[in-house]
Amino acid sequence: MAAHHGHGHQDHSAAFDFAEAAPRFKERAEAEAGKYLRLAAKLSTPDDKVAADIGCGAASMAFALATTLPEARVVAVDAEPAMLDLVRERAAENGVAVEAALASVDDADALAAAVGEPADLLWAGHVIHHATDPQAALNNLAGLLAPGGRLAIGEGGTAPQFLPWHVGVGNPGLELRLIEAGSRRLEGETHEHGSTPLTYGWNLALERAGLTGVREVNELDAIPAPLEGAALRHALASLETRSEWFAHYLSDEDKAAWARLLDEDGPDWLGRRRDLHHLSIDTYFIGVKP
């Protein structure tokens, strides 16, 4: 196996540049709006008055909740000012009442101030695993719930896969190594932050946070080949984004292969293939405050 050049260099940071990535977050949020509307409908109840999207990014869930619960107060919370600028921009464009508040998932006091009052529904999508202490973060969020309030977290699941095992460019298993590179980037970020990853499942973590009726829900996304239209554009954008974000953890051979496959003007561009599919599982866990 080829060496993974650059892994371990002291001048490399595994952290994301959120300001640079903001346009892609926006594109992805718009592409996934339907999915989050369906999820918001499943997680919310008509009586919910206060809801928050924690670690919101482009605030896909916050906007879905604001649409689903027009009478509720909905807050989008993130530690990155660039993401909150994006939230305000999207709120103005769409005429949706979503508050934007600055707080890290690691800062209990800032989170409490951001949410402002006991919450009926808190959503944290793919953010708790970034916390310095994920269990402490869940404990803090559980403490912000009103009695009977729900905490839902998007964690686990599977990374999307779009390609055949061998595409004729580079070595077989190219996409599997991209997924592994993403895992190693997360590992690098964890080391940089001095974080303590969980050594048990998310269902147990929610129970340890004092929540009851904890359940796991898995949503399958399965679109058979050939991908066309928006589904194809989403696949290409996902592969391009991840091949750039995880480049430090890829071999030179794999980086060269991705460059060829994602070159729209080249002979190997994936957008002309008829054997791309979409297979992924989104997993979320829900617990209720007694």
80-127 pLDDT, tens digit each:
998 899 899 988 988 888 999 999 999 999 999 999 999 999 999 999
CA-to-CA dists, residue 246 to 56, 81, 137, 158, 163, angstroms: 22, 23, 26, 17, 17
Please indicate, yes or no, if residue 12 is contained in any of the structural domains. Answer: no
pLDDT for 43: 96
Please indicate, yes or no, if residue 3 is contained in any of the structural domains. Answer: no
How many domains does one find in the chain?
1
CATH classification of the domain holding 256: 3.40.50.150
Please indicate, yes or no, if residue 52 is contained in any of the structural domains. Answer: yes
Please indicate, yes or no, if residue 66 is contained in any of the structural domains. Answer: yes
Please indicate, yes or no, if residue 97 is contained in any of the structural domains. Answer: yes
* pTM of the predicted structure, to 2 decimals: 0.87
The low-confidence residues of the chain, meaning pLDDT below 50, are 1-10, 14
H/E stretch holding 278 reads: strand 278-288
Pairing of β 158-161 and β 99-102 = unpaired
Please indicate, yes or no, if residue 266 is contained in any of the structural domains. Answer: yes
Q: What are phi and psi of 73, to 5 degrees?
A: -90, 120
Q: How many residues does the chain have?
A: 290
Tokens of 223: 């679109």
pLDDT for 33: 77
pLDDT for 157: 94
pLDDT for 206: 98
How many Å apart are CA 152 and CA 78, to the nearest integer? 16
Contact partners, residue 110, CB within 8 Å, separation at least 6: 102, 103, 104
| Count of alpha carbons within 13 angstroms of residue 209, beta-carbon side | 31
Residues 50/73, Cβ–Cβ less than 8 Å: yes
Per the structure, the complete domain to which residue 243 belongs is given by 18-288
How many Å apart are CA 36 and CA 13, to the nearest integer? 31
Please indicate, yes or no, if residue 6 is contained in any of the structural domains. Answer: no
Residues 115/141, Cβ–Cβ less than 8 Å: no
pLDDT for 22: 57
How many Å apart are CA 281 and CA 38, to the nearest integer? 15
Please indicate, yes or no, if residue 150 is contained in any of the structural domains. Answer: yes
